[in-house]
Chains A and B, each alone.
Chain A
C-alpha cells in the first residue's frame, strides 16, 4: 500500500515538478519562432532525462548513497573537483533564473517591476526550506505545479493540426535564422535535463529512505512522470506556435509570453499564466537550492538533511541560504531574466558531459550495484544523447552570442 502511494504521489509530483522557467522560456520562444519544428529537441531531451532520473533513483535505492558522496567515495576528491565546481556554477545560474521567473510572475500580478521582487521572493524560498521538512517541500509545490497542465488544455483548445506536430518530432533543417534555431534546440535540451534534476532526485531518494525494493517504483515514476511532464512543455510550445507564430511575434521578453494563454482562456488566461509560472518556479527554486546544499555537504562530509533541525546541520542550511541570497541579488541588480534563462539552459547542455559521465561510471560499478548496474542500452542512449547535446552546444552557443540571440 505504501509503495502504491509512493508510486501515485511520485508520478503526480514528477509531472507537477517537471515544468520550470527554463521549459517555459525555451518552449515559448521555439513555438513563436519555429512553430512545431523543434518538438524533436524536447522529445530527445525527454528520453535522456527519463534514463538519467531512473538511473539516479536506482543508484540511490540500491547503494543507499546520493551521487556527490558516492562519487567522492569511489573516485576521490581530485576526480570530483571539476564536475563539482561546474555543478555549483550551473546550480547558482538556474536558481537565479527560477527566482527571476517567480519575480516576473509577481510583476504580472502586481505591476511592481521584477527586480523589486527578487529579495522578497528569495526570502519566501528560504523560509520554505528553513521551516518545512523534505516531504512537505517535495509534495506541496509539485502538486500545486499541476496547474501548469493548463498549457496542455490550452493546446487542445487551439486545435492544432496533428500532422504538423508529428512532423516536428523529426529533426529538420531550419528555413531561416539557423543560429537561433540550433541555439534554441540546445536550450530546450538544457532546460529539460538541468543537472539539478537528477542530483536532487538522488539525494531525495536517500531522504525518503528508499531501498532496493523501490527499484520498480522508481522505474515507473521516472518513466511516467517525466513523459507526462514533457507533454506540458510540448503543450506550451504548441500554444506559442498557435498564438504567436501566425502574428509574426518573436518572444524577446517574458511580457510578450504572458499573453499566451489569453486566446484559449480570455478571462483568466493572464492570471493562469502568472500563477503557473510562479508556482513552477517556486518548486524548481526549492529543488535547486536543496540540490546545491546536498552536493556541497556530501562532498565535504558534513551533516545534511532537510528533515534535520537547522541547528544540527548549520553548514548545510547556510549553503542554501547563501545561494538564495546570491541568486536573488543577480535578479535584483536588473539582469534580464529571459536572456539569463536562455543562456543558462544552453550552458546546462554544454556541461552535461562533465556532470553525467562521473555518474555513468558509478552506474556501471557492479561491485556497488550488482545486478542493478547499467546495461548496454542505458549506457549507449545516455552517451549518444549527451554527446549530441554537447556538440550542438559548443557549435551553437558562440554563433548565438555573435548573432546577439
Chain B
C-alpha cells in the first residue's frame, strides 16, 4: 500500500480506539537511516507544531501563551507510527485512549474547572 503523506496523513482527523476525536495530525516526523529509504517515525499533535508551520511570529505567539498558561503537560503530543491502526477516508484510528493523552489536557481541564461547574449550576 502506498501513502501520500501530505494527502493521506497530514491534517487528517485522529480518533482513539473508542472513536473519540483527539485532534488532527499537525506534523509528521520521518526517520532518516543510512542507505535506506526514510520511514515515518511518529505523528505530532499540538498548537506549537501548527504554529511552526504557519511562521515564526505565530510560533512566538503560541510559545508566549504556553509560558503563561500551564494546562497542557507537553506542548507536543507524540503518536508512534505503529499505533496507527486504520487509515480511512474520514480518519486515522489510533490504538490509544485519548482521555489519557496530552491532547486531552485542555479538554479535561475545561471540563473540570468550567463545564461541570456550569452543569451543576444549570441542572
Binding site for B on A (CB under 8 A): 64-65, 69, 72-73, 76-78, 81, 127, 130-131, 300-304, 310-311, 314-315, 317-318
Contact = CB atoms under 8 A, between A and B. Distances in A.
B50 interface: yes
A314 B21 CA distance: 12
Interface stretch (B30-38, B59-67, B78-86, B107-115): B107-115
Interface residues of B, number: 26
A77 B44 CA distance: 14
A300 B111 CA distance: 18
Interface in B16-64: 20-24, 26, 50, 53-54
Interface string B87-123: 0001000000000000000110011001110110010
B24 A300 contact: yes
A127 B122 CA distance: 9
B115 A77 contact: no
9 contacts: A73-B13, A76-B11, A77-B26, A301-B23, A302-B23, A304-B21, A311-B115, A314-B115, A318-B110
B90 A65 contact: yes
A133 B12 CA distance: 28
B10 interface: yes
Nearest to B26: A77
Most buried by B among A65, A77, A301, A315: A301
Given A76-B10, A310-B118, A317-B115, 8 more contacts: A77-B50, A130-B122, A300-B24, A301-B14, A301-B21, A302-B23, A303-B20, A311-B111
Contacts of B11: 72-73, 76-77
A384 B115 CA distance: 45
A311 B53 contact: no
B14 A302 contact: no
Contacts of A131: 122
Given A77-B50, A311-B119, A300 B13 contact: no
Most buried by B among A76, A77, A78: A77
